[in-house]
Amino acid sequence: MKHFTSVNDVQDAEALAQAALEIKRQPSAYSEAGKNKTLALVFLNPSLRTRMSMQKAAMNLGMQVIVINADKDGWALEFEDGAVMNGASVEHVKEAAGVMGKYCDILGIRSFPGLRDREEDYSEKILKKFIEHSGVPVVSLESATRHPLQSLADLMTIRETWKKKTKPKVVLTWAPHVKPLPQAVANSFAEWMCRAEVELVITHPEGYELHEAYTRGAEILYNQQEALRGADYVYVKNWSSYKEYGKILCSDDAWMLTQEKLKITNRAKVMHCLPVRRNVELSDEVLDGHHALHLLQAENRIYAAKAVLKMLLDHDQPDRQVDKANTLTTIS
Ligand code: CP
């Protein structure tokens, strides 16, 4: 794996989740795997979990970490080729990414979509420019269309808590929100679940269909109650419309997940990537109840990050023995 920007960069999603769980069981393993290597984390948008889990994972691997809040303390960047830079932008991504590539061995980028121009957002222009001009492996810290580190931690969390041999029924349900949010977490979760050993059902109001490239293999229902019946996991997430791009089409609070709604599930565990708007997306009683997995998901972000960084470090050292799933070297 050269970069980590989606499930398509991974040979076997389930094997990677298992490798991350193995790392969780042996937290002191690989403590020198990243010795003398530097990770730079560039945030064009805010973050709590991604920032902290990546820093902790990298430090546990012996890496040095540089964090840039590019939205606040970096120069305003230009991304257009051929731009006449006589306006607000001060530095072109060609130079900024090129310099970063000289200072670090792995680069993480967080870049949200503008939610105004669907084609531009879905072209992943910003992420691709950093890949093109940095010359080092790039990890998506959530891009315009995907959040693969979150999805890997989500798959880990399901595998860690599902003890049966059968496939769990996993329901991704849309929830209301006060602001238009990206489709990235929902796209990415759907895409990873479609590669995993689960039965995926997606439920949302009409008009909130995700692009089918991310949902192929999932059942899609407009009736939330029908979708929730017999669910083993319920993943709650808001996203703005893909069809009427970036718009809020529904504010019906009947879509909020409540304890009452969980009665028709198979005592489902409840998931959310965080940050969460309490009593808008999910009720207090669900989040504070014993079926909620959001803190375990957040904890697993550390081990997902560690597994991904370890894989990228190994890719740099082809003499290391790589396991069958081409995900991680064997812990020794
Ligand atoms: N879930 C997640 O990525 O959280 P942050 O936006 O706080 O990093």
Element (H, E) at 221: strand 219-221
CA-nearest residue, atom 3 of ligand 1: 50
pLDDT of residue 24: 98
Our answer on whether the CB atom of 49 is closer than 6 Å to any ligand 1 atom is: yes
Q: Do residues 250 and 205 make contact, with C-beta atoms less than 8 angstroms apart?
A: yes
Distance CA 231, CA 309 (A): 33
pLDDT score at 329: 39
Alpha-carbon span 300 to 323, nearest angstrom: 22
CA-based R_g, the chain, Å: 20
DSSP 78-89: E-STT----SS-
Q: Is the peptide bond between 275 and the residue preceding it cis, with omega within 30 degrees of 0? A: yes
**pLDDT in 10s for each residue of the chain, 332 residues:** 899 999 999 999 999 999 999 999 999 999 999 999 999 999 999 999 999 999 999 999 999 999 999 878 789 999 999 999 999 999 999 999 999 999 999 999 999 999 999 999 999 999 999 999 999 999 999 999 999 999 999 999 999 999 999 999 999 999 999 999 999 999 999 999 999 999 999 999 999 999 999 999 999 999 999 999 999 999 999 999 999 999 999 999 999 999 999 999 999 999 999 999 999 999 999 999 999 999 999 999 999 999 999 999 998 765 444 443 444 433 33
For a pocket test of ligand 1, which of 143, 146, 271, 274 has the largest count of ligand atoms closer than 8 A to its C-beta? 274
Q: How far is the CA of 204 from the centre of ligand 1 (A)?
A: 22
Query: What is the distance in A from the centroid of ligand 1 to the CA of 332?
Result: 32
H helices within 109-223, ranges in order?
118-122, 125-134, 148-161, 184-194, 212-215
Distance 275 CA to ligand 1 centre (A): 7
* DSSP, res 8: G
Q: Decide: 281 and 175 in contact? Cβ < 8 Å.
A: yes
For residue 202, give both structure tokens.
């997606």
Distance 115 CA to ligand 1 centre (A): 18
Rounded CA-CA distance 126/42 in Å is 12
Q: Which of 142, 156, 296 to mutate to test the pocket of ligand 1 (most atoms within 8 A of CB)?
A: 142
Ligand 1 atom, smallest distance to 48 CA: 7
Cα 58 to chain centroid distance, Å, stands at 17
Name residue, tokens 């995926």.
200
Q: What is the pTM of this model?
A: 0.95
What is the 8-class DSSP label of residue 241?
-
Does the beta carbon of 47 lie inside 6 Å of ligand 1?
A: yes
DSSP letter, residue 276: -
